[in-house]
Amino acid sequence: MKPKILYIMSSYNLYGGTPKKTLDLMKHFGDQAVLYVYHNSYPELKEQFKATGGAVYEGFYGRNLFSHLKKLLTIIDNEKIDIVQTQFSMGETLGFLIKLFRPKVKLVIAFVGPFKPTALKAFLVNLYYRKVDSFLYITEYVKKEKTRQFPILHKKRGVIIFNGTEIRLDIGNKVVAMKQFSIFDIAGLVNWKNIQVLIEALNILINVKQRTDVFLYVAGDGPMRKELESLIASYNLQKHIFLLGYQSNVGRLLNNCDVFVHPSYAEGFGIVIPEAMLAKKPVIVSNAGALPELIENEVSGLVVQPHDPGEWVDAILRIIENPEFAAQLAHKGKERAEKEFSKEKFTENYENLYNSLLLK
């Protein structure tokens, strides 16, 4: 018997990793998957979830836990849900409440990032975690961080399942014309994504080493936009660095760029890395967070110190000046992504987890 799974998710925002992963799981499980969304944002992407064949429910009740719980319990009973999977603070709270009222339903909490909650939230989730049937970590790094933050997790069942993906397709018609040599990243404009080190590296490349043929494109947005724009202007790099905002045509951008970079220093996984590898692009990442788990340094990509712009300059120049080496990295990167981060392996691992829970 196939399990019936309820995914609790904040929004339909397919520009983020968790909704994209959930969509892939819903495509795999079809009418055995059910989705509950609790924020009314990105409604234009709802149809992609409905097209999977799974049921889609919405509960836009804000912080009214009673209303959420009432609707969720109705969904669980009517859809005959076996497993509930959720993540993030709100989802963990709702999962805990579900277990109180429907203890036979299996609860899976997925950790998708390394960050520690506030003291109050940490106290509460320590209580919630006692009710969880299995925890899911997306990398060894996330598992290490979470078990350090919450020692109770050492005693609880937990599995590591790498995210899976496929070649990114466009979901829009917007076109960005990239110049050569184009450096590309997909990242929110927040401090830990570390875009500032790329700006520092471009300053060295262009204003010191006179490599005026280098251009940086960043797809994403966030609270640091003005600060980053000021830094770009201070180096007079407005014609070489482009903050593109959120982009629906990421597949095309990946295909058109010359090298993909990701300098984040606290990444829980970074699904954009395997996507770039599948697009057969040479990849440079930080030696921080989970990123070294994704890349074999000097084989399927380059791994450099996150806060040293000089190392980023050297790595970028190696790619520019050694096209055969760049092609070798891209080839090996694609092979690694197909083997370790395929959507097929990802969904198979989830199916094994769910089936094992039903045998408990």
For each successive 10 residues of the chain (360 residues), what is the average pLDDT? 92 87 95 97 94 98 97 98 96 97 98 89 91 97 96 95 85 75 96 98 97 96 97 98 91 94 96 95 98 97 98 98 98 97 95 92
pLDDT computed for residue 172 by the predictor: 59
Contact yes or no for 181/39 (Cβ under 8 A):
no
pLDDT computed for residue 16 by the predictor: 78
pTM for the full predicted model: 0.91
Question: Is the peptide bond prior to 181 cis by the omega test (within 30 degrees of 0)?
Answer: yes
Domain spans in the chain, listed from the N-terminal domain onward: 5-164+342-359, 182-340
What is the three-class DSSP state of 268?
coil
Altogether, the residues listed in the chain come to a count of 360
pLDDT computed for residue 61 by the predictor: 97
Residue 120's Cβ-count burial label (10 Å; 0-12, 13-18, 19+) is exposed
Domain 182-340 has CATH 3.40.50.2000: yes
The CATH number of 5-164+342-359 is: 3.40.50.2000
Q: Which tokens is 309 given?
A: 């712009």
Q: Do domains 5-164+342-359 and 182-340 have the same CATH topology?
A: yes
Q: Which tokens is 291 given?
A: 């990123």
For the four alpha carbons of 222, 227, 230 and 235, in that order, the dihedral sign comes to negative
Per-residue exposure over 178-195, b if at least 16 CB sit within 10 Å of its own CB, e if not: beebbbbbbbbbeebbbb
How far apart are the C-alpha atoms of 70 and 303, rounded to whole Å?
A: 48
